[in-house]
Structure 1
Amino acid sequence: MIERVARQSQIQQVPDAGKRAAAGGFAMALQAELTRAGQEVQFSKHAMSRAEERGIEITPSLIDQIKGSMVRAQAKGATNILAMDTEKAFIINVPHGRVITAITQDEMKDSVFTNIDGAVFL
């Protein structure tokens, strides 16, 4: 009898656990894919110096956005992408997980981006 009650409480707990997993499902799947692929974001010396001189702060949140952009671009077969939002942009070599350069909004206005095969919004 006690065993049956214990099983029923476990069964009742499973849907709640499933809801929690579903709520964070995409984030967990994304993190698992990044870990599986060993995909880490690296900044070239050029990109680091450009970000510093242009006042672009590299935060953990920004790194996560860049990783997400790389995963989405890789799924579409892109190798060199422009990842951008309204304030900043990055040229990224997807297969190597390397940020090549960082650009601010002011510099984007008159820029022409070449040798890219995709664009992703952060």
Structure 2
Amino acid sequence: MNVTWHQLPHALPVKTRATATHEQNRTSEGTSFQTALQDAQKTNPITISKHAKTRIEERGITISDQDWLRVSEKVKEAHTKGINQPLVITDNAALIVSGKNHTVVTAMAQSEMNDRIISNIDGTIIVKPSLDL
């Protein structure tokens, strides 16, 4: 299984299960793909499924690097408390994350959350936006 990373605007690199090899690609900062991959693996253990990546891009959802890290930490914490499929609510999105493999399985923009029923979750995590002081 090959794994590739894609850069979303204003977000950490996103890991998807694709088959193409992108080691020759360069990020917008000019660093090699391999370097970006290694940096992302150190800082963001949450992966994003192909389905969720598509939803995030279609819906224009952005989550700051700092908030991705906070989501990751809270998902790990929830997993230690027995929560395996949390709904993570951020300032502008709702994410369903598989706590077992730390993968975002789907995403919804905040504007889409009116009058919705969300099933197949066993806990909720609310992540307030980070404040840069």
Please tell me the root mean square deviation across aligned C-alpha atoms, in Å.
1.7
Shift of residue 58, structure 1, vs aligned partner? 4.2
Q: What corresponds to 1:95 in structure 2? A: 100
Structure 2 gap ranges (5+): 1-41, 128-133
Structure 1 gap ranges (5+): 1-34
Shift of residue 106, structure 1, vs aligned partner? 1.4
Q: What corresponds to 2:88 in structure 1? A: 83
Q: What corresponds to 1:50 in structure 2? A: 55
Using the size of structure 2 for normalisation, the TM-score is: 0.59
Q: Distance in 2 between the 1:72 and 1:83 partners?
A: 12
Shift of residue 101, structure 1, vs aligned partner? 0.8
Q: Which has the higher contact order (CA 8 A, sep 6+)?
A: 1
Q: Larger Cα Rg: Structure 1 or Structure 2? A: 1
The answer on 1:104 being equivalent to 2:122 is no
More helix by share: 1
The answer on 1:70 being equivalent to 2:75 is yes
Using the size of structure 1 for normalisation, the TM-score is: 0.64
Alignment length (residue pairs)? 85
Q: Distance in 1 between the 2:52 and 2:65 partners?
A: 16
Q: Distance in 2 between the 1:86 and 1:61 partners?
A: 13
